[in-house]
Structure 1
Amino acid sequence: MSSKSTQTQFDKNMEFGNDTTELIRYITKGDGAGLAYQWLSTLVDGFGHRMVGSDSLEEAIDFLVKSLEEDDFDDVHTEEVPNLPNWVREDDNVEIIEPRHQRLNVLALGGCEPANITGEVVVIRDLDNSKFVNVSGKIVVTAQQFKGYPQTVKYRQSVKLFESLGAIGVLIKSVTSFSINSPHTGSGAEGARIPAASLTVEQADMIDRMFQNGEKIVIRMNMKSHSENHTTTSRNLIFQITGAFRPVNWLSHLSFSGDQQHVNLFKMKRLDEIVHLLNRNGILLGLVNNPSQGDVRFWAKDGIPSVNYIPDKAIDYYFYFHHTGGDYITIFKDGDLEYTASIFAVLGHIIANMDNWGPA
């Protein structure tokens, strides 16, 4: 960017450049250094797993409400969300019983129903060819190659497909590029009547080798995870950040919808200016317009501005731990949370105090 363009609209009109420097210094080197890690560790260590319908989730929401109020956020409140699925993870047991005995390391897929079945294994390497393989009356084990999460997650979402082909159970090779015998769970079994679980990469590959060598493999699946007979109610947590110059409603995320491309060109320009301010202050960041939106797609589709942050470690590092028993705060290294907090603090501060998202 040329020196002429260094003075952005934010620098000239609202001194956002100085605000950005002050915010980042506070979070990374000032009194705010370490607060993000302390806050997150208190939440995740103090309440553990927070499944929908669990006491730990509701207690964690209460904790967040109290914490936000103590930190002087505005209009902190919750809104009930009724009729949510009430699925409970239990102690599931899956084991090879032929040609030898070995307990398998699995995690039930979300929505999996209980069952106690025994069946011969058939291995599926390519989902596109599955309709040409006889899986009727058998337990399917997938052994796909990992080709990135978006391309590979379809295997975890194939339970109902295999059920329609006659399978009596499904074990999905974990959707990850890295494993230390750690299964990666996730959604995928909702609405299916057969048991389904994620299997570690190592054990899925082992079963694949045995199958390719012509061995008959028999597995027993004793799945106890289940859906309760009633739905449950949880809560959304809502709070506001009021702008110092012109109060606006609660600020959530940033996004770009294909239905508003003419406006989004200006939104991208605004974001590019914010990214420039971050870069000038040592927070190196790029900007990519991506229609997939990931976990914020529900808001993005409704036209709510939304953004996903992808760290330098990229997607693969995230999926080393994603939905595994190793998903603890230990995975963050020094400065990780301060770096991320700086990004969203600057985004939130600037956007809350902008005139609008329209043309400059």
Structure 2
Amino acid sequence: MNSSSTTHAPPARQVQPGSGRFVLVILLLIGVLTGSALVSLTVGSRVNAVGEALHRIPGALEYLLDPTIAAGDVDELTVLIGTYRLPRTILAVLCGAALGAAGAIIQGHTRNPLADPGILGINAGAAAAVVTVIGGGVATSASGYVYPAMAGCAAVTILIFLLSSGGPAAANPVTVILAGVAVSALLMAYVHLMVLSSDMVLDQMRLWATGSLAGRRMDVVTATAPVIVVGLVLALTQAPGLNLIALGTTTAASLGLPVTRVRVLGLATVAMLGGAATAAAGPLSFVGLAAPHMMRTLAGPDYRRIIPGAAVAGAILTLWADMAGRVMARPDEMAMGIVLALVGVPVFILLVRRRTVVGL
């Protein structure tokens, strides 16, 4: 009797959907994100008080939305917030959320906790597409990079799964990583060739390739936000399928899951999220790796919790990296991608060297 009840008792650390612990974690992350976004509006070449920045947000929005208001009609801080800090903060949140959710989906489909869009070569696909349109004179600003980057991201994602498994229905985690490394190396060689062959391409790619939101304005937000929002909605719908895939593709198919259809939808979602985020901010490493790991540790293996949690955690990581870059080299700034690499490399090494990596 006692043995039977012990066998069927749920694990003590398991968190059920909607449980108090999971709700507390999400609310805490949202609170941290909100506070970080407010602080982001105060950080630049000079730091302003939070209250001072908040007081000017309505005026900054009015300045952005009303083309009849000239810069001379409002004070300098209002123009600064509306033109640079507010769009930059919004983009940091959007790009981080996109990369966090995309990383969770990639890890779910490959069943590999060390996978992320950058490691799988998806960022390289977006970079190759961007350098192509720059070299061809098709696009000259980040807002024009969005759709080419998405196309490049989608093409590379499909190619990697085809190379690693012969089709999208099943993918061995090891061969997926190897295919991603090979494709990434080839594409980055092409990117470097294009950059070195043209001073114009070098000038436009130099800042973008390091991963930075410097100089991004509201036109980039309007170009990327719809794509990322749709991608996040699609990501949330895939959680039940990823929970079944975690049991193995054969088991998932026997339970009635259309594995091929779920794979294709996952590829399209990662392409949307990774392509839009990379187009806006440049290649950013480790956000897609770290954010899902954080949520898997905090809330368990259920993708109904991992995907939304990874999106919020990714937004926090990206926003913190952007703010750190603004203050570390003042009055200049350090690119957000460099900050993420400085933090992400030791984190990645730690994850690899751990005896027990959190499973999927």
TM-score with structure 1 length normalisation? Answer: 0.23
Bigger Cα Rg: 1
TM-score with structure 2 length normalisation? Answer: 0.23
**Greater fraction strand:** 1
Which protein, 1 or 2, shows the higher relative CO under an 8 Å CA cutoff with sep ≥ 6?
A: 2
